[in-house]
Structure 1
Amino acid sequence: MNRRGAVLGMAGLSGVAGAGLWWLYPRPPAQLTDDAFRASYAHPLPAPATGLPVYHLGHSLVGHDMPAFIAQLAESAGFAGHGFHSQLGWGSSLRDHWDPAHPVNGFAEMNATQQTWRDPHEALESGAYDAFIMTEMVELNDAIRWHDSPRHTALWAATARRNAPGIRIYMYESWPHLTTLDDWLHRLDNDPETLWEGTILAGAMAQPDTGVIHVIPAGRVMAALTRAVAAQGGLAGMPDHTALFARTPTGELDPIHLSDMGKYLVALTHFAVLYHQDPRGLPHALLRADGSPAQAPSNELADLMQAIVWSVVQSVPETGLAIANPHMQRATQ
């Protein structure tokens, strides 16, 4: 059994055995072999010439501000026509969004803005989008074990592709809860190969009609920035990685949700992957979704963020970009 089969097999066995109902469940779905998975990304996507209508599906790590930041970056870069709709929840899995038997937690609160909300089934069946970006709930191991993540990833991808055959489909790879720095960086380094791609995408892409799902490697960008800032002893506005995360009303660190600077970093990553464009030189003073000014990174930090984003996304073939430095691929996965 290859690495991917072992990971999914252990997740499936622990879940069904714990329930005492293992005989009612089918075997884990087929997965692409390592070679077949890598071969799926042998040819880069063509760079878009115009703005992309985008649909975002996920939860609070998508949020309202980050897609608004992407739209501002696209406009600044000259990509007229970029627009977006979304459906979000509180920690919602792709299964929750797919199956009405599992209500989307926080639906009313997260989708109150009628200008950006659109039902995902209706939206994707319309064929009106050039890009579909989905993300999975945190914790990934729970999504795989209890929410059948590879299957629901495949279902969403097949729905999007059936109605818009040329659509670009992405998995936005996020990050785990911040614990110790070493453990968090270890997860950011290893989860793409073992969980995001090695289990979820390899399982989804083995199913009929899924096609290739590209990735937006936000977690790997966060790891690279964290290490670069630490190597410099901190920068103005970012003494360490915790500046990427929000604070609670009482001032405590939120270990999963992002500050404005974290959202800006993730938006840069989305922009660079979607448009195959170097984000260096793009503005870093942006507006939140409600029109208020976001906290902007310093010029020095913004320059570093933009350079790191471009370096990382060009080193990961699963982004769909042409690879600038093949020798960096294994270091960033």
Structure 2
Amino acid sequence: MKQRRALLLLPALLALWPLARWIKPAPLPPVPPLAAPTGTLSVFHLGHSLVGPDMPHMLAQLAPAGHHWNSQLGSGTSLKEHWEPDLEIRDFATTNATSAYRDAREAIGSGDYDAVILTEMVELRDALRYFDGADYFHRWADLARSGATETRVYLYETWHHLNDPDGWETRIAQDLGPLWLGKLTGADSRANPERPAYLIPAGQVMAAVARAAEAGEIDGMTTREDLFARNDQGALDTIHINDLGAYVVALTHYAVLYQRSPLGLPHQLQRSDGSAANSFTPMAAAQVQKIVWETVLTQPRIGFGVTSGGEGTK
């Protein structure tokens, strides 16, 4: 009898199947506000070459003295590849040949960090479809939460190639809600409404800086390509940022993690190898810092409390 009922229901279920793709998931719960840090932070970065060694090192130079960080990186590495011990992390030996390296699983579960920053590989659509991005984001975020009740989890939103067929700026604008926040972190945020993943909107900031440059609003900068690396022959790298791009992303991390305006922060920094990084002019640095802060404040999932907003200080 039960089998017969199931067979009778089958045509109705099949008829409803085309409608399933139009059913939207429940809205994300709002993020609880976070108290602004009163001291320095200890931070763990898990990701790939869009984290790199230089950006976290720049962040440490912008942050109050005593800021500490560790990382585990790869090249184009997914969160799944970081999690599963049998999967290869491409360029593991070279990307982690630094004193900042610490095994991710041991580190994130240790409770030693005030903030754990996760990012997923790009192409993000592939990460979600083929590498179970949402599932592995949830695993890493839960591991961080299990380590200490005070640990904050962050999503570092990045970008796609400058020559993306759908348009670099278009992808940044369109992917944030549906993909980064919806599909990648949505299930985790709904499962943990009191301790969700907060947003570091670096992609949004990069796009805002690029627009300003191309509108003639940043001293000495005229195009989005000015934020991206070039090889020894001068050919443009359409995904990896140069020193100027790393500075923009580091400012964004600083603004969100410390809940402080980056206005007035230093602009002449060092790379992780101790060499002097290329820098914006003083005027351009001030213009970029203002754009970073204004863009960060437009995002509702950064977790700022009512006490946030002080000037950047060292």
Q: Which amino acid aligns with 1:164?
A: A
Task: Output aligned runs, 1:139-218, within 5 Å.
Answer: 139-179=123-163, 183-207=167-191, 211-218=195-202
Q: Which amino acid aligns with 2:160?
A: P
| % same residue | 45
Q: Of 103, 114, 118, which residue of structure 2 is paired with 1:119?
A: 103
Q: Of 17, 30, 50, which residue of structure 2 is paired with 1:40?
A: 30
* CA gap 1:203/1:286 in 2 versus in 1, 3 angstroms: same
Aligned 8 A contact 2:155 2:197 in 1? yes
- Give the drift of 1:55: 0.3
Matched, 1:62 2:55: no
Matched, 1:320 2:310: no
Aligned 8 A contact 2:115 2:154 in 1? yes
Q: Of 260, 270, 279, which residue of structure 2 is paired with 1:277?
A: 260
- Give the drift of 1:312: 1.0
Q: Which amino acid aligns with 2:51?
A: V
Q: CA-to-partner distance for each residue in 1:3-52, whole Å, 9 max, x for gaps?
A: xx849x9xxxxxxxxxxxxxxxxxxxxx9611xx1x332x3211000111
Q: Which amino acid aligns with 2:126?
A: D
Aligned 8 A contact 2:35 2:305 in 1? no
- 2: CA distance, partners of 1:104 / 1:97: 7
* CA gap 1:322/1:193 in 2 versus in 1, 3 angstroms: same
Q: CA-to-partner distance for each residue in 1:134-174, whole Å, 9 max, x for gaps?
A: 10001000000000001000000100101111111001000
- Give the drift of 1:126: 1.6
Q: What corresponds to 1:81 in structure 2? A: 66
Q: Which amino acid aligns with 1:93?
A: S
Q: Of 81, 90, 93, which residue of structure 2 is paired with 1:105?
A: 90
- 2: CA distance, partners of 1:151 / 1:6: 20
- For the pair shown, the structure with the greater C-alpha radius of gyration is 2
- 1: CA distance, partners of 2:52 / 2:80: 18
- Give the drift of 1:235: 3.1
Matched, 1:256 2:239: yes
- Give the drift of 1:322: 4.5
Q: CA-to-partner distance for each residue in 1:73-110, whole Å, 9 max, x for gaps?
A: 00xxxx23310000000100000000012111110010
Structure 1: gaps spanning 5 or more residues: 10-30, 325-333
Which has the larger helix fraction?
1
- 2: CA distance, partners of 1:146 / 1:185: 24
Task: Output aligned runs, 1:291-310, within 5 Å.
Answer: 291-310=274-293
- 2: CA distance, partners of 1:305 / 1:279: 9
Q: What corresponds to 1:14 in structure 2? A: none
Q: Which amino acid aligns with 1:40?
A: P
Deviates more, 1:277-286 or 1:173-182: 173-182
TM-score by structure 1 length?
Answer: 0.82
Q: Which amino acid aligns with 2:215?
A: A
Q: What corresponds to 1:330 in structure 2? A: none
- 2: CA distance, partners of 1:309 / 1:208: 28
- 2: CA distance, partners of 1:103 / 1:209: 33
Matched, 1:221 2:187: no
* CA gap 1:234/1:311 in 2 versus in 1, 3 angstroms: closer
Q: Of 242, 246, 251, which residue of structure 1 is paired with 2:229?
A: 246
- Give the drift of 1:119: 0.2
Aligned 8 A contact 2:116 2:153 in 1? yes
Structure 2: gaps spanning 5 or more residues: 1-15, 308-314
Q: What corresponds to 1:92 in structure 2? A: 77
Q: Which amino acid aligns with 2:78?
A: S
User: How many residues are paired up?
Assistant: 289
Secondary structure, aligned partner of 1:103 = coil
Deviates more, 1:258-267 or 1:180-189: 180-189
- 1: CA distance, partners of 2:101 / 2:164: 36
Q: What corresponds to 1:286 in structure 2? A: 269
CA RMSD of aligned residues (A): 2.3
- 2: CA distance, partners of 1:226 / 1:219: 11
* CA gap 1:234/1:52 in 2 versus in 1, 3 angstroms: closer
Q: What corresponds to 2:12 in structure 1? A: none
